[in-house]
Structure 1
Amino acid sequence: MRTALILASAAILAACSNEPDVKMENASVGEVAKEMRKQASKDSFVNPGQWRQTVTMVSIEAPGMPPEAKQMMQQAMGKAQVHDVCLTAEQAKSPKEDFFAGADKNCRYEHFNWGGGKIDLKLNCKHPNATQTMVLVGDYEPDSYTMTMTATNEGGGPAEQMVMTMKVDAKRTGECTAEKRAEGGN
């Protein structure tokens, strides 16, 4: 779930003007971050300020999950989680390399397409006993975006097989408050 929220946060960077385009295939997290920073040197990716993300779980398939855990997940279905994030001017212009996929060095983008009001990316993470795949598809405008995110976990034991789909809606709600700036931008 944490990885999903990090990737959802990455979409804040895609809520920009239609000018910068980044299209990459079979790229590392670092390569994508470098290209995004290069584009940012020409223009900010997003309008800095206070952003509100609403994340709603749409579906979950987890055949091997214990019944009590499955019931908890199904109770979360359709319930929105709201996250307020302060994005500083510096963060909008030059995101850290691990902003896109966390610090996981086992991840690679099958494709990363961002520009012209569209977001389309697929991230694969390979671990010794499991493979995780994250697919994000959506649309954006300078101060808002909406996307569907599907996370798949394969490998490991039967309890670890899972496909989860979430919808993310976000919008810029104004300037950052002094309190949010003091918290380091989050």
Structure 2
Amino acid sequence: MTTATDKLTLEEYFNYENSEEQHWELSAGNLIQMPPESPQNAEIAIKLLLIFAQFVAPGLLRCKDTEIVVSGSRTTVRLPDLMVLTAELADALRSFGRSTIMSDMSPPALVVEVVSPGKVNQDRDYRYKRSEYAARGIAEYWIVDPQINKVTVLILNEGLYEEKVFEGEQAIASCLFPQLQLTAERIFFS
């Protein structure tokens, strides 16, 4: 872990030796160790991956294995639970040779974050990532919250997200996937 005065650059983050096989995010230059997902969060991410695989080619889907560099006061790299890439972005990643979406690459079409328990995690997904992903130009951002069994779908409109919250048997509305037949109930309980 770095100290408050020991901020990493993007290059230092890329060269960081991870001998523990842990997942990390870089937040405002600070190296943040991400704990393993809870079984419920992992199941939700896989379930959504399988649902989106019905509409999207496998080469455009990423599940907890691709980082994205986002805007911020200092270098920030996020590791979303699930992403749907554009074909252009998938090609750029193949050419780059590292599963990191750099700031000069086009944004993913969709990012999904499954909220882990605790205020720090809630703040990160609902507040910080919301502004970072909007600034990055990500068209659709889903916040899937198993603590309250709600899905918040954020649609980018003129640089800001407009949100709709879905729960129970209410059909989730996605601008990118209008053919989607999905409810919060199905995500959390089936």
TM-score by length of 2: 0.29
Q: Which has the higher contact order (CA 8 A, sep 6+)?
A: 1
More strand per residue: 1
